[in-house]
């Protein structure tokens, strides 16, 4: 009996210690959060006639030279082009297709990403696209639910998440970038990077009329998305595809919690719902693995109706089945790829071409916009990009300065996906239940993790502490009121499994760069820039 009491006592003190640490971190973060305020009024409205037949007609710009070539004009490329153009750089953007994209991902921007959008002066791109405010998440599990609100109390009332049609958002940013006379948008396919003595000097590309062209600039930034053909020249891509999203649009239905994303902890993996317009709700069904039921022969519709529909909240069930019957079912592989660059003079990777994480948490655009803020601040003191030696040092600093924020969001996405997915293993089941119950406690137990998820507090140490607080909470649930040998064994496996989930992700991201960036020499190569950690 004494042994049993000791286990209970140690579990209690371990939990108490973890919670005290989390409280201290939260209090320290409050001072930093107060610094983030509403920026100046939105930038001047853009000219909606900047595009003709899918191509920008550059009127006032000079063709005498280019400072930066941007390959791709998605979220990262378009935002980057406007940001660098506003700083006076001459930017040449080459995009495969300038017509409005139609994708089923990249539709939810977390509040932390919205703050970066404001910092870049692009918040007005959320106007006129029927974007919906998102104030938090609702979590569903086996008939129970809990509402998790973003910790927005210290921010301006306009700050929140946003959900929207991805293509509309991208077109607004392209149009805004095109209003700058020193930004040129051109439709074309970049076929290769031009290298000379180990330095990237520009690109070779083919325009839509089939003509081959070359473009030169001291800096080439590759932002050509998850299907990038150019990344292999600039990084060591290790792409993992753990699952696929099956996308549907539900029409004229009401979500159980207005202005919230909805996550259903279903079997075998999560299901997402969030509004993308005033009348449309996006549904994303996660299907583990890369092999999907066939849409053409009706297997997918049968799978969705028999396996998925029974797990949908009653308020959405009929709209979900109706969307299946309409037949507009889309699929998208979910890719994960840690950032593993080999710094190359004259070139940089950004966006999904450089770094991807499971889209469950909607963190991709937040990482991309955060990276753009880091790069903008990094390059500001360097007025002459033709100084190849200085440029290379600054670009190497970028890879270190971005790490803590990006790696926190990446690690959270990978860890949450594994925790939220169903498993026959009893320890994994307990971890999943512990996570749901921990978030349902409210207070710091929900605001801390949601602050990480939202990008408002992307701090690596806070992530690790909360993750293991969930594990300790799960062990406590098992051991109280009476810790049988079987429960002790499951508790030990729970802790071991939690470590097995998060530590490999952290290792892939880079322990030193993620937690101790100041120990990396590149951190000091641009002394005028401070990391956002």
DSSP class per residue in 195-232: EETTEEEEEEEEETTS-EEEEE-SEEEE---TT-SSGG
pLDDT for the residue numbered 58: 39
Helix (H) or strand (E) holding 148: strand 144-149
Cα-Cα end-to-end distance for the chain: 47
Strands 271-275 and 261-264, bridge-based pairing: antiparallel
pLDDT for the residue numbered 384: 84
| Segments of the chain scoring below 70 in pLDDT | 1-64, 523-533
> What is 68-129+164-239+338-386's CATH number?
3.50.50.60
C-alpha dist (Å) from residue 483 to 1, 10, 470: 10, 12, 18
pTM of the model: 0.86
Strands 219-222 and 347-349, bridge-based pairing: parallel
- Would residue 82 be called left, alpha or beta, if left means φ above 0 and alpha means ψ between -120 and 50 degrees? alpha
Backbone CA torsion sign across 215, 220, 223, 229: positive
Q: What's the CATH class of domain 240-335?
A: alpha beta
DSSP state of 121: T
| C-beta separation of 114 from 161 below 8 A | yes
CA dihedral 432, 404, 364, 470 (to 10 degrees): 10
Token pair recorded at residue 268: 């075998």
Return the closest-CA partner of residue 356 out of 338, 381, 331.
338
Alpha-carbon span 124 to 159, nearest angstrom: 13
pLDDT for the residue numbered 526: 58
Instruction: Collapse the DSSP code of 485 into the 3-class scheme (helix H, G, I; strand E, B; otherwise coil) and give the result.
Output: helix
């Amino acid at each position: 009996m004494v042994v049993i009491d000791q286990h209970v006592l140690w579990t209690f003190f371990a939990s108490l210690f973890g919670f005290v640490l989390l409280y201290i971190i939260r209090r320290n973060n409050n001072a930093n959060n107060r610094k983030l305020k509403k920026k100046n009024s939105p930038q001047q409205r853009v000219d909606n006639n900047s595009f003709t037949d899918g191509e920008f007609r550059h009127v006032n710009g000079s063709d005498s030279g280019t400072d930066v070539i941007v390959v791709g004009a998605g979220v990262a490329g378009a935002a980057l082009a406007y940001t660098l153009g506003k700083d006076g750089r001459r930017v040449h953007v080459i995009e495969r297709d300038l017509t409005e994209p139609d994708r089923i991902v990249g539709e939810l921007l977390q509040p932390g990403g919205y703050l970066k959008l404001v910092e870049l002066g692009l918040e007005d791109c959320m106007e006129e696209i029927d974007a919906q405010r998102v104030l938090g998440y609702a979590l569903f599990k086996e008939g129970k639910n809990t509402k998790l609100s973003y910790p927005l109390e210290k921010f301006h009332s306009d700050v929140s998440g946003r959900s929207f049609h991805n293509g509309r958002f991208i077109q607004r940013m392209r149009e805004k970038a095109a209003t700058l006379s020193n930004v040129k948008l051109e439709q074309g396919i970049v076929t290769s990077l031009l290298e000379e003595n180990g330095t990237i000097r520009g690109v070779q590309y083919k325009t839509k009329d089939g003509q081959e062209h070359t473009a030169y600039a001291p800096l080439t930034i590759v932002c050509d998305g998850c299907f990038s053909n150019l990344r292999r020249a600039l990084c060591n891509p290790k792409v993992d595809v753990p699952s696929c999203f099956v996308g549907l649009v539900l029409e004229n239905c009401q979500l159980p919690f207005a202005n919230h994303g909805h996550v259903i902890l279903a079997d075998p993996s999560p299901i997402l719902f969030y509004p993308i317009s005033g009348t449309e709700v996006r549904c994303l069904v996660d299907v583990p693995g890369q092999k999907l039921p066939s849409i053409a022969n009706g297997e997918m519709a049968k799978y969705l109706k028999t396996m998925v529909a029974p797990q949908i909240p009653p308020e959405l069930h009929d709209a979900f089945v109706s969307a299946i019957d309409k037949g507009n079912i889309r699929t998208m592989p979910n890719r994960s790829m840690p950032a593993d660059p080999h710094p190359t003079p004259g070139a940089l990777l950004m966006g999904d071409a450089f770094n991807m994480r499971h889209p469950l948490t909607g963190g991709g655009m937040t990482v991309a916009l955060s990276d753009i803020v880091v790069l903008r601040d990094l390059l500001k003191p360097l007025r002459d990009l033709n100084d190849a030696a200085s440029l290379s040092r600054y670009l190497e600093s970028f890879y270190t300065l971005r790490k803590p924020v990006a790696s926190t969001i990446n690690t959270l996405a990978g860890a949450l996906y594994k925790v939220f997915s169903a498993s026959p293993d009893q320890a994994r089941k307990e971890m999943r239940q512990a996570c749901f119950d921990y978030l349902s406690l409210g207070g710091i137990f929900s605001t801390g993790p949601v602050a990480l998820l939202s990008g408002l507090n992307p701090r690596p140490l806070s992530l690790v502490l909360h993750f293991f607080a969930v594990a300790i909470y799960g062990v406590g649930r098992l051991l109280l009121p009476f810790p049988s040998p079987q429960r002790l064994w499951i508790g030990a496996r729970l802790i071991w499994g939690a470590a097995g989930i998060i530590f490999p992700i952290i290792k892939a991201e880079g322990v030193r760069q993620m937690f101790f960036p100041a120990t990396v020499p590149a951190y000091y190569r641009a002394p005028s820039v401070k990391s956002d950690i």
